[in-house]
């Protein structure tokens, strides 16, 4: 069995919502509003098996050479079949295509991301002038990347990881 990996469509959002919700209650993924999913549909990649969306993941650009991998998830019945790995590899390839040199994630799945070359980070791996610019963003992902105290109650226990492409 192989999965078709493709850009998400607006018609996929209901299924993406269902996939994400299965992980929110266990605090493995942060909850996202449906409107946020529609607003970021162009960032999402989905995996399809037999015409059914079974997994998703997103690439969110933070800065000129920096992006975040978000919301990588696969339905439980399809786990262990390499679909999540394929989604992530597709996202990393897309990051390279658009000029990203560093990819960040905030995760409980350190083994999964570690197997793709992500390593745990401390502090901020950007120059002070970029840090100052990023502080101006309202995006929660940037606050997580910068390890700001304001987001720690929502991300307690997650590990900040980075991969250099």
Of 68, 91, 90, 87, the closest CA to residue 78 belongs to 87
The Cα–Cα gap between 5 and 152 comes to 33
- Domains assigned to the chain: 4-164 (3.40.630.30)
The Cα–Cα gap between 81 and 52 comes to 15
pLDDT along the chain (165 residues), means of 10: 93 97 86 93 97 97 89 95 97 97 90 96 69 62 57 60 94
Tell me the C-alpha to C-alpha distance, in Å, between residue 86 and each of 3, 43, 46, 138, 154: 8, 16, 10, 30, 28
The Cα–Cα gap between 49 and 62 comes to 31
């Amino acid at each position: 069995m192989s999965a078709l990996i493709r850009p998400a469509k607006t018609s996929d959002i209901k299924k993406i919502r269902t996939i994400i919700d299965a992980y929110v209650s266990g605090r493995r993924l942060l909850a996202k509003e449906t409107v946020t999913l529609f607003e970021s549909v162009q960032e999402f990649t989905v995996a399809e098996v037999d015409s059914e969306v079974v997994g998703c993941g997103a690439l969110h650009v933070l800065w000129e050479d920096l992006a975040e991998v978000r919301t990588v998830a696969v339905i439980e019945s399809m786990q262990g079949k390499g679909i999540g790995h394929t989604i992530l590899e597709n996202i990393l390839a897309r990051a390279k295509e658009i000029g990203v040199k560093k990819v960040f994630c905030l995760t409980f799945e350190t083994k999964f991301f570690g197997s793709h070359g992500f390593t745990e980070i401390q502090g901020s791996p950007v120059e002070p002038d970029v840090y100052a610019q990023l502080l101006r963003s309202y995006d929660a992902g940037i606050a997580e990347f910068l390890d700001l105290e304001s987001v720690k109650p929502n991300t307690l226990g997650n590990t900040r990881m980075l991969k250099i492409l």
